[in-house]
Structures are given as structure tokens and as C-alpha cells.
Structure 1
Amino acid sequence: MDPKSSSDNIHPIRSGRGIQEAQVWEAADWLLQEGLRPTIERVRQKIGSGSPNTVSPMLERWFATLGKRLDGHGVSPADGQANQLPLAVVQAAQQFWDLARREADQVQVQKAEAARRELDLQREALAQKESDLAQRESSFEQARFAHDEALASSRQAVTAMEAQMHTQQQESARLLSDAEAEVRRLRKALDEAVASKEALRETAAMDLVAAQRDGREAEQRHIAHERRLLADVDRERVAARQAAADLAKEQKARAADLDAARAAQAAAQQALQAEKAAHRDAAAAWSRQQQESQVELATLRERATGADQRATDLALRLEHLQAQSEREIAFLRESHALSKTALSQPGAQSVVAEKAPIKRGKKASK
């Protein structure tokens, strides 16, 4: 049937751009009759207009009804009634259909062969994966067994370690308790030692103050004794001078006695000078001893330990010095008494002169 005559009974369907589906079908028939495969672009070129979006669904419906039309059941794009195609169109469509089927069969065979090869490759890969998986399962089983053994050993080690830690904690707690008790004891002993040290320091300070006071008092007494002795010596000098003047008046009458008196006076003066020098030496020794005592007292102030013993030693030394000073004072008094006796008794001047060196020798030996 002529496409133009077949299109007279078609009720056109308006598209969005003014292209009718009958026009698309007619253009596809002409392309098929020309031996060309109807495509969207060829149909658009045949019609001369139309968008791909509009032509595509109309061309798909043409392909859907092509089989029925080739079998003799014509289908109109509008009402689906029988529509006989021209013989040339039918033959071209049949050739095209056979070519499409062969191409489709060849494509299907190629696809099946490719699918089979892909399936073989997948089977080989699956077999390799299964082999790898079996090896991994074996390795995993061995690793799991080793892990279980290691876990059991670790649990035993953890249990032993926990027991050891518990024992160590108990021992640490005991040692800590003992250490705290020892710290408390040492702290108490330290407090007692500090208190004892403070008490000893206070006692030493008091003893030091008392020793310094006693030293000052002894020094003052010594100075007073020295002053009294010097005053006595001065008086004796005045008396000696007066005696010398009296002896000078009697020079003519008692020349021999006067010479002896002068010798005795010289001896007495020498004895007095020696005694004064000895007294100064004793005072210097006393000063040195006093300085040493002060140094020892300063050392005693810095050292609290042994303060009582040192204070006792210092008191004994002061007593010794005081006794020595008293002995020296007694010696001076005795010398003074001998001098007075020598001056009052001219005949005994030689005896005094002889005794004075002996006394000085004894004093030096002391």
C-alpha cells in the first residue's frame, strides 16, 4: 500500500513542536524502502524538522509495530487498524529484519562466548580464591591455636603477676607503715634533740654570762689588787727615799752602814722592779688567758654539744687563774713585807738581798 494512501486514515497526534507521529512513521517507511536503517537523525532529516526528544518516542513505537506489519497485520499509529505495506517496503523490511536478526544472533553468540570466557575466568578466580581461602583458613586456624596458647600463657602470667603485685602491695603497705612509724619516731627524737639542744644552748648561754661575769669580777679584783700593790710600792718608794735621805744625813757617822744600806736599797729597788715586771708578766698572762677564755666562750656559743663540760673546764681554769693570782698577790705581799723589814732593819738588808733572787727564781719556776 502507498504510504500516502495509508496515511489518509491516520488521525494525527500533535506533538509539542508540531511534528505528527504519522510523519515520523512515513519517513521511517521511506528510509526502510531505501535500504537505510531508520534513525532519529535520518528521520529528522527526512522530515526537515523536529527535535530528537519528540522524534525518539514516535520512532520507538514504529519499531514496536514493525513486526506485526511485516506479518500482514497492519497497525496504524492512531487507531491500530490493518494497514498493508508496499511489497518493496515489505521486502526491504524483511531483508533488514533478517540482517538485524543475524546481527543480533551474532552479537548474542559473541556475548555468550564472552560471558562464557568471563564465567571461566570467574571460575578460575573463584577456585584460586577458594584455594587462598583454604590456606588462609589453615593459617588462621594455626594462628588461632597459637593465639589460644599465648592467651592461656598470658592469663597464667597475668594471674601470677596479680598475685605477685598483691604480695608486693602488702609488702609495700607494711614497709610504708614501718617507714611512717620510723619517721614519727625520728621526728619525735628530732623534736627532743632540738628541745635538748635549746636547753643546752640556754644553759650554755647562762653559764657563759656567769663565766663572763665571774671573769670580769676576777679581772676587777685583780686590777684592784694591782692598784693596791702599786700604791704600796709607791709608798714603799717614798719610804725608801725618805730612808735614803735619813741615811744620807748619817753618812759621816756610819759610812759602812750607809754603804750597806745603799746596797740593800739598790737590791730592794731591783727586787721591787723584778716584782713589778713579774706582776706585769702575770697580768699579761692573765690577759692572754682571758682572751683565750673569750675565744673558748665564743666557740662554746657556736657549739651546743658539750657546753656543760666546757663551762666546767672554764670555771676550773678561772679558779686556777684566781688561785695563781692569789698566790702571786701573796708573794708580792711577802716581798713587800720583806722589803719593809729590810728597810727597817739595816743589818738584815744583805739577807733580804739574798732572799729576793731566791723568791724570784721560785716565782719563775712556778
Structure 2
Amino acid sequence: MATDHDALWKIRQSLADEGRLPGRRAPLEQAQLEEIAWRMLRAGVQPTVEGIRAVYGSGSPNRLHPMLRRFYAGLATRLQLAPVAEDVPTPLRQLWLQALDLASDAVRERHDAQAEELRLRVAELEKREAALERKLKRLRREHGETRGDAPAE
């Protein structure tokens, strides 16, 4: 029988395989927390601060707790959007929930695409910054060498 620990490990592995876990420990963002929390719910695991930390690998409980509360507040709002009237046929309710899931997936895909574009831009800027730092060191070295050769006045 699979445990919550097993489910959390599988979620962590799938996120790592998809490249959604950063190599260095950057602070967890709200969208990342929500992605992890949704995966936990789908796996039948209640999203908790400890569970989020187990999947992500780090995170301050003081920072994660308010983020998790926002997730639950959004979840409550989302569930209130679903028709709950008894007279609404089950297939229509299921269709509505599927539409909400598709919309959520579309938003997440767009967000992921934008996040990836930003990651690429940051990587390019970091490369440029490193090149400028190398050039600056070279110029300082050359300037220091010529300054040492200059006659004293």
C-alpha cells in the first residue's frame, strides 16, 4: 500500500523530471506551491507545509503557511464556482468541472511558457554579466600594469 511519503516522492521525482524543481534553492513562488498542492490533491494527499517542503526540498514554514492559505482560499473560491444545485444533472456538473480544469491547465501552461522565457532571459543576462565581469577584470589588470609602469611625477 502506497503511503503519503511515497506519493510525495513520486511528485518530487515527476517535477524534477519535468525540470520544474530549480537546481539551486530559489524561494518557492506561489505558482510553484499551487502546482505541488494540486499534484498532492490528485495523489490523495492533503497539502501541508511539511508536504510542500518534502516535495520542494526546502522552504520556511513562516513563508509557506500564508502561501498555502492563499491556495486553500483559491480552492474554496474555485469549488464555489462549481454548480452544486441538486437539480443540475451530474453530466453537466462534470462538464463544468472539466471546463474549469482545462481553463486552469491553459493558464498554467501559459504561465509555464512565460516562466521559461524569463528563465532563458535571466540565463542570457547572467552570461552577459559574467562576460562583462571578465572584461572588467582584464581591463583593471591591464590598467594596473600600465599604471605601475608610468613614471612618477
Name the TM-score class by shorter chain. 0.3 to 0.5
Q: Whose Rg is larger? A: 1
Q: TM-score, normalised by structure 2?
A: 0.40
Greater helix share, structure number:
1
Higher relative contact order (CA 8 A, sep 6+): 2
TM-score by length of 1: 0.18
